[in-house]
Structure 1
Amino acid sequence: MKTQITYVNGKINWIIIVLFFSFNTIKAQISGNQVYRNNNYENNYNQGNLPNKTTVSINDNHLTVTVKMLHNKKADGFVITLGLNQEDETVSGCSKKINVRIDGFLEKIKSLGIKKENCYIDFISQTKIYDFNATNENAQQVDKGFEIKKNIIITTSNANSLEKLIAIASDFEIHDIIKVDYFNNDTNAIHNSLFDEALVLAEAKKIRYMKSFGKRIIGTPTATEEFATVFPKTQYKMYQAFESSEIETNHYNRNQYLKKLARKNKTFYYDGVSGAGFDKVINPNQTEVGIQYLLTLTMTYKIDTSI
């Protein structure tokens, strides 16, 4: 979000407002199977594409002050998406079987305080499926039946219920945890709070530099603001730590070697936006994975050149 602001007699006048939302829409402590995607896509927020130092510039005509704020916020709630499928020889058979599983699951999670109105069933697809009858001479494709896929979307404010919910899902052969989204109830309040604190810090910087250089401000300042929300899904990274031996083959030996590679474990970890270079970080030591809010406010003041 970018905003143009001016001040008249100590009051804020909003001159031009230009909005662009760069909200990047999760992964979490429970991230869902989307964690296996490529984690190096362009909208990752890291210190490589964020300013890591504060900026103040002054010349004979202008003083420019930049203030950067970071707020680490726990999520107020979560939206978990589970996927399941069902095969049968008929469409009606598929529908009955998958609905029995879903209804049983929804009934059982009531014990976690999750009501039916907090759940939504998303019908994904209904397709024919085929197989092959293979003989020694040929393989013939045959109609095997139908498959229905549905997603269950659940909203909960209790982080501790997520793991229990997943365990209950497995009882109904629901194993695909597609994703977990995070949300806060009042993003506007968070934004306003960051903006107010940034104004205070910008004013303190202005006073310090005017006093240091013996300058005086005239006219009204202008300002540019950028506000971004960083969700956990863009901040997960992956690595593999192992050492492997090699097989050296003899090109003059006609015997063939079959090399089978052992499975190497992948480690995924949350790497949120670092607090380095920010003027103020709210909740800097928060260990729980949550949502991060970034605000950058740049103020430009006119300097009296007659002094």
Structure 2
Amino acid sequence: MKTKTVGIVVFLLIVTMQLQAQISGNQVYGNQTNYSGNNYSGNSRTVSVNDNILSVTVKILMNKKADGFSLTLGLNQEAETVNDCNTKINKRIDGFLAKAKSLGIKKDDFYVDFISQTKIYDFSVNENTANQYEKGFEIKKNIIITTSNATNIEKLIDMASEFEIYDVIKVDYFNFDTNTTHYSLFDEALAMADVKKDKYLKAFKKRIIGTPNATEEFSIVFPKTQYSTYQAYESSEIQASYGYRSDAKYLKKIERKNKTFYYNGASLTDFDKVINPNQVEVGIQYILTLTVSYKIDTSI
């Protein structure tokens, strides 16, 4: 019976190891010791006593969907004159924005940002002489569009491509009322800290005196800082042997390897509470850490 029990335990350990390996995914190719802030990790001690002081720490993470998005698109136009440049680039912009109105994009929802106007130079080659000359001008502009509908982002990018606008510079996420979120998390953390404090005092029959001191840290984590990348592939090696009088030569052609990018938000570990832990839509993460210190009565 003992042998059978040991066999079952070993089997369960092997199965557990296999399951852990299966769920890691190809992201292990990009694993490093330092994730450059992608995996938030705080102090794992939540209750500590030092110099007659009871210190209670509560950490809360909230995943929240964005209330709106700001899409920035870039475009440029070349022509022989500045006037021709402006006419052509504005025609593309006006055509795109006119089509974007079908998605409910209003005049107040976009802004055209003038970036630069520069001269363009080229070379003309005559026999062995290359002479540089002024070829024309280039104007660059950015279009900034806000929308509350996430599905509009991809539709706007498709529409922009019809007017040769291909540069998707960035997409920013925002919430309208971060103060309400902040105060809500603070109240939640304060209540949890009070519960921890009461449990400790009851367990060790202690009493606090005076008024507590508190420190708070509130952070907002936006998606643009939380993307990681890796390349998953295995490659062969080429080794050439050169003997005496050998003129062996070879050319090694390296194929392009696909690079994967993925959203890697703040880790859900090491928090006392995670609000909306199963949210699949990429959004904004709010992190609040509250530490409350109480003076313990040592006379009892």
Which TM-score bucket, shorter chain as reference? Answer: 0.7 to 0.9
The one-letter amino acid of 2:262's match is Y
Select 1:221's aligned residue among 199, 203, 212: 212
Structure 2 distance, partners of 1:106, 1:194, is 40
Structure 2 distance, partners of 1:166, 1:185, is 24
Deviations 1:61-114 (Å, cap 9, x if unpaired)?
Answer: 110000000000000000000000000000000000000000000000000111
Alpha carbons 2:41, 2:269 under 8 Å: kept: no
Alignment of 1:112 with 2:112, yes or no, is no
Corresponding residue of 1:260: 253
Corresponding residue of 1:230: 221
Q: Which runs of 5+ in 1 are unaligned?
A: 1-39
Alignment of 1:172 with 2:163, yes or no, is yes
Instruction: Tell me how far 1:143 sits from its aligned partner.
Output: 1.3
Alignment of 1:139 with 2:130, yes or no, is yes
What SS is found at the alignment partner of 1:273?
coil
Corresponding residue of 1:269: 262
The one-letter amino acid of 2:299's match is S
> How has the CA–CA distance of structure 1 residues 298 and 52 changed in structure 2, closer, same or farther, with 3 Å as cutoff?
closer
Alpha carbons 2:41, 2:270 under 8 Å: kept: no
Structure 2 distance, partners of 1:236, 1:136, is 52
Corresponding residue of 1:248: 239
Alpha carbons 2:41, 2:267 under 8 Å: kept: no
> How has the CA–CA distance of structure 1 residues 101 and 250 changed in structure 2, closer, same or farther, with 3 Å as cutoff?
same
Corresponding residue of 1:14: none
The one-letter amino acid of 2:255's match is A
TM-score by length of 1: 0.83
Alpha carbons 1:54, 1:67 under 8 Å: kept: no
TM-score by length of 2: 0.85
Select 1:189's aligned residue among 175, 180, 183: 180
Alpha carbons 2:99, 2:159 under 8 Å: kept: yes
Instruction: Tell me how far 1:60 sits from its aligned partner.
Output: 6.0
> How has the CA–CA distance of structure 1 residues 101 and 60 changed in structure 2, closer, same or farther, with 3 Å as cutoff?
closer
Structure 2 distance, partners of 1:193, 1:231, is 19
Structure 2 distance, partners of 1:301, 1:250, is 74
Corresponding residue of 1:294: 287
> How has the CA–CA distance of structure 1 residues 199 and 289 changed in structure 2, closer, same or farther, with 3 Å as cutoff?
same
Alpha carbons 1:52, 1:276 under 8 Å: kept: no
Corresponding residue of 1:283: 276
Bigger helix fraction:
2
Alpha carbons 1:65, 1:298 under 8 Å: kept: yes
Deviations 1:179-226 (Å, cap 9, x if unpaired)?
Answer: 000000000000000000001000000000000011001100000000
Alpha carbons 1:54, 1:68 under 8 Å: kept: no
Instruction: Tell me how far 1:246 sits from its aligned partner.
Output: 2.1
What SS is found at the alignment partner of 1:94?
helix
Instruction: Tell me how far 1:245 sits from its aligned partner.
Output: 1.7
Corresponding residue of 1:124: 115
Select 1:204's aligned residue among 195, 200, 203: 195
Following superposition, which runs of at least 4 residues in structure 1 exceed 6 angstroms of deviation? none
What SS is found at the alignment partner of 2:144?
strand
Structure 1 distance, partners of 2:163, 2:43, is 48
Root mean square deviation, CA, Å: 1.7
Instruction: Tell me how far 1:44 sits from its aligned partner.
Output: 4.1
Deviations 1:98-134 (Å, cap 9, x if unpaired)?
Answer: 0000000000000011112110000000000111223
Q: Which runs of 5+ in 2 are unaligned?
A: 1-31
